[in-house]
Amino acid sequence: MLAKTGLLIVSNPKHINKLLSNVKETVKHTLYIQLLTALNEPLGSFYSHMFNTPPKLSRTIFGIYSQATRHCNNLDVRVLLTGVKSNVPQIGTRNPIDVVIFDRKYSKADIDNFMKCKLTNVSKQHRVLTVDCENVEDPEVQDDSADDQVYKHACLGGTFDRLHAAHKVLLSYAILHASEKVTVGITEENMVHSKLLWELIQDVDTRIANVEQFVMDVCPEISYNICKISDPFGPAVVDPTMDVIVVSVETVRGGEKINEIRKQKSLAELVIVPIPFIDEPDPQAREETKVSSSNQRLRLLGTLLNPLEKKNIPNKPYVIGLTGGIASGKSGVTSHLKNMGVPIIDCDKIGHQVYQKNAACYQEVISQFGKEILNSDGEIDRRVLGNLVFEKPAELTKLTDIVWPAIKDEVQRIIRKSEARVVCVEAAILTKAGWDAFCHEVWTTFVPEKEAIERLKTRNNLTEEQAKSRMAAQPSNKENIQQANVVFCPLWEVEYTKMQVEKAWDLLQIRLSGL
């Protein structure tokens, strides 16, 4: 049975390759890794060589996270730095340990003693395993050189969206280079708008909480200042106590810029420690070749982003409510679903039908908006009506108050008589109308607002102002995403949208099979 949380006790990091490929069969959620300092060191003298030389671990830690990315990317791997900063030789992880795995054989007495004296948070039902790694060496985990130094106060900054291996390396390097304090600047929302799929970036408080939880888990012995930053420099250009800044190789220039400003302010320059990228082992279409948050966000497209709510509605047909901003590519998604055999209930179309001549809402719409909205054959001219309502929210509400009940009745009638296993209700403002109440899942499309404006200008011949006012009549991307279970970004080629829809469809089949 897979354990939720494991602890790997590593006597020789050069075994890590084999160890990690083994543990992924044992642990399913969090894997803590504790390094012993040297091969053949008895368990009892745990940590004894580590004090005063912590940065020497940096490259080992980089190697471990790189290998973890390759071998067990689904696990939350955390290399413990406990004991590196003080000689409190105990491991008190945040999550209780369900399985302890040793990379070599020890006597029962040594193991019993270790379990009793060194581990403070072990679950009652824990297991102890040994993966024998004699004669296995992974050349990619390098020996550490001895030229690193420890300073009092290290700093670093970034977005830290969906904490991944490269973030963990940056944070670990900062911890290893600081004897007293690490400051982490985390970008506020104003700083993330140029990033790919920024709409999917976690809110700043969640990102702060994740970083805090990680650093406190791997090394509670030093102090942390985790703060929001709304410019690229944050406290690094004003704090005289900072000594060293940890950056990725891509952001060395940012570190240099900070030093230029510090110099102007007569503050001591920071030592810049650049960290190489971790390679993405299996980059997919559109992904970067390094481990990155934008890769993670791309991978979220088509997956269950927000959990499903239990609703008291019939299980058949299973109703997907598809929504999304104006010109955000809803029809691209519905055409892929249609090809997969899913009936689409198009609410725009039903909306048009309900006020056709002699239909249920025809007279009421005319009484509300006047005969000026009629064309020569007595039909309501939607272009005229659209111009009246899209510019003025109160007018739009008057229209929707008239037509939504009729559209809803028709949608529910079609659902009731459907024989299909899955149907899709396509509605621009599904959640604002409260129609998510009769959908099992809400799926949404979004494209960057700039892109939607361009599409409206070219596709619908609207001016920039008109495009903006139409967008203002709808929930924002952020609102739609927050309320959706699955999201799509039809920003690129048709095939890429199709791939997202197929992924969503395959995952939906798994959910349906569990009903």
Ligand X SMILES: CC(=O)SCCNC(=O)CCNC(=O)[C@H](O)C(C)(C)COP(=O)(O)OP(=O)(O)OC[C@H]1O[C@@H](n2cnc3c(N)ncnc32)[C@H](O)[C@@H]1OP(=O)(O)O
Query: Between 265 and 383, whose beta carbon lies closer to ligand X?
Result: 383
How far apart CA 240 and CA 328 sit, in angstroms, is 48
If one asks whether residue 229 binds ligand X (CB under 6 A), the answer comes out as: no
Residue closer to ligand X by CB (options 30, 445) is: 445
The residue at minimum Cβ distance from ligand X is 428
Please say whether the beta carbons of 110 and 104 come within 8 A: no
Q: Residue 396, interface with ligand X (CB under 6 A)?
A: yes
- Is residue 379 within the footprint of ligand X (CB under 6 A)? no
Residue 344 is a binding residue for ligand X (CB under 6 A): no
Residue 347 in contact with ligand X, rule: CB under 6 A: yes
Spatial distance between the Cα atoms of 238 and 475, rounded to a whole number of angstroms: 40
Single residue of 197, 429, 462, 491 touching ligand X by CB under 6 A = 429
Residue 187 neighbours by CB under 8 Å, 6+ apart: 157, 158, 159, 204, 228, 229, 230
From the CA atom positions of the chain, what is the Rg in Å?
Answer: 29
Q: Give the binding range for ligand X (CB under 6 A) out of 125-133, 212-220, 260-268, 344-352.
A: 344-352
Near ligand X by CB under 6 A: residue from 399, 423, 467, 499:
399
Per CB under 6 A, the list member of 108, 371, 383, 416 interacting with ligand X is 383
| The two structure tokens encoding residue 229 | 């930053």
CA atoms within 13 A on the CB side of 23: 41
Sequence-separated (6 or more) residues with CB below 8 Å from residue 437: 311, 313
Contacts of 456 (CB under 8 A, 6+ apart): 326, 327, 462, 466, 467, 470, 471
Nearer to ligand X, 178 or 484 (CB): 484
3-state SS record for 109-144: HHHHHHHHHHECCEEEEEEEEECCCCCCCCCCCCCC
Q: In 3D, which of 326, 308, 325, 333 has the Cα closest to residue 424?
A: 333
Which residue in the set 201, 430, 486, 504 belongs to the binding site for ligand X (CB under 6 A)?
430
Angstrom distance (rounded) from CA 253 to CA 272: 10
Binds ligand X by CB under 6 A, chosen from 400, 469, 476, 482: 400
Q: Is 386 in the site for ligand X (CB under 6 A)?
A: yes
Q: How far is the CB of 375 from ligand X (least distance, A)?
A: 13
Residue 427 found at the interface with ligand X (CB under 6 A): yes
Stretch that binds ligand X, among 156-164, 229-237, 332-340, 429-437 (CB under 6 A): 429-437
- Largest separation between any pair of C-alpha atoms in the chain: 96
Is residue 373 a contact point for ligand X (CB under 6 A)? no
Question: With CB under 6 A, what is the number of residues at the site for ligand X?
Answer: 25
With CB under 6 A as the contact rule, the residue among 327, 342, 415, 491 that binds ligand X is 327
Angle formed at CA 177 by CA 176 and CA 181, multiple of 5 degrees: 90
112 contacts: CB under 8 Å, gap ≥ 6: none
> Does 385 engage in binding with ligand X (CB under 6 A)?
yes
Q: Is 477 in the site for ligand X (CB under 6 A)?
A: no
Q: Is 326 in the site for ligand X (CB under 6 A)?
A: yes
**Running DSSP on this structure, what letter comes out for residue 189?**
G
Regarding 402 and contact with ligand X (CB under 6 A), the answer is no
Query: What is the contact surface with ligand X in residues (CB under 6 A)?
Result: 326-327, 330, 347-348, 351, 382-383, 385-386, 389, 396, 399-400, 403-404, 407, 427-430, 433, 435, 473-474
